[in-house]
């Protein structure tokens, strides 16, 4: 099993039942960390934990809904009681319901912010309080390049991810004096179930690569769709000692789609 200075560390990964979250849990686990996987999909979460354990990774499930602050605080206390201090937090949990602004319902708007921003706030605040007391730890929030670059049909998603990005940087500023680092990884188009749900036609992948002039969207300069491992590798770097002097930064992992933002 690969290790990279994470042996024995305790990591929490939200949205870990699939897609990028599961890739991050795997990446940290193969580097020696003990992983608490958080997701509200209990069935998918159990399957993911079982798969990681078969690979020799120390993985543990926590099926909660991060929209509920009381449940989050209780979960964090249980993790510390069962496994010891939390070294790493990776915020991945998120939803995307694509719709033009004029068709976006108030319910969908609220749900985007409840999960992508408020849920992230609940988990980050609860973990950060303990990290600040220990004067050590690292937090990475996985947002989106849509937080910086406007996307048609994605206003609620983009706005909530922009909120998550700004919050993480502000948290990093406040925690710097306590020795805790907070950074952001902003993926672009990544081959996940969320992406597949957005593609409706056979030529959607090619249009994603080449761009959509009618939607004011450039393509992907590197000419390929990202894999979840591209984001998980970036997260692992920002959590590692190699990034010990990096905080309040946003690392784009999008093949150049945001043109450097």
Strand partners, 80: none
Paired tokens of 61: 């499930």
Tell which residue, 237, 233, 184, has the closest CA to residue 5. Answer: 237
Residue whose structure tokens are 């902003």:
186
**What is the DSSP code string of the chain?**
---SS-TT-EEEEESTTSHHHHHHHHHHHHTT-EEEEEES-HHHHHHHHHHHHHTT--EEEEE--TT-HHHHHHHHHHHHHHH-S--EEEE-------B-GGG--HHHHHHHHIIIIIIHHHHHHHHHHHHHHHT--EEEEE--GGGTS--TTBHHHHHHHHHHHHHHHHHHHHHGGGT-EEEEEEE-SBSSHHHHHH--STTHHHHHHHEEGGGTEE--TT-SPBPHHHHHHHHHHHHSGGGTT--S-EEEESTTTTTT-
Select which of 88, 121, 157, 167 is catalytic: 157
| Active-site residue flag, 60 | no
* Residues noted as catalytic: 157
């Amino acid at each position: 099993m690969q290790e990279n200075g994470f042996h024995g560390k305790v990591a929490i990964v939200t949205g870990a039942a699939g897609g990028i979250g599961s890739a991050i849990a795997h990446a940290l686990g193969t580097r020696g960390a003990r992983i608490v996987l958080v997701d509200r999909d209990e069935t998918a979460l159990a399957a993911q934990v079982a798969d990681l354990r078969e690979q020799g990774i120390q993985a543990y499930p926590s099926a909660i809904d991060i929209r509920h602050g009381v449940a989050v605080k209780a979960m964090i206390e249980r993790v510390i009681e069962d496994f010891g201090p939390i070294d790493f937090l990776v915020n991945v949990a998120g939803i995307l319901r694509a719709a033009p602004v004029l068709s976006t319902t108030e319910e969908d708007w609220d749900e985007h912010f409840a999960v992508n921003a408020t849920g992230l706030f609940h988990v980050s605040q609860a973990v950060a309080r303990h990290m600040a007391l220990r004067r050590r730890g690292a937090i990475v929030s996985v947002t989106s390049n849509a937080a910086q670059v406007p996307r048609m049909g994605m206003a609620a998603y983009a706005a909530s991810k922009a909120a998550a990005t700004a919050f993480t940087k502000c948290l990093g500023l406040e925690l710097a004096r306590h020795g805790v680092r907070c950074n952001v990884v902003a993926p672009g188009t990544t081959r996940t179930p969320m992406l597949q749900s957005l593609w409706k036609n056979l030529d959607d992948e090619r249009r994603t690569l080449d761009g959509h002039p009618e939607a004011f969207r450039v393509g992907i300069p590197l000419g390929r769709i990202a894999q979840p491992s591209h984001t998980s590798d970036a997260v692992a770097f920002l959590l590692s000692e190699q990034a010990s002097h990096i905080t309040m930064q946003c690392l784009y992992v999008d093949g150049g789609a945001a043109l450097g933002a």
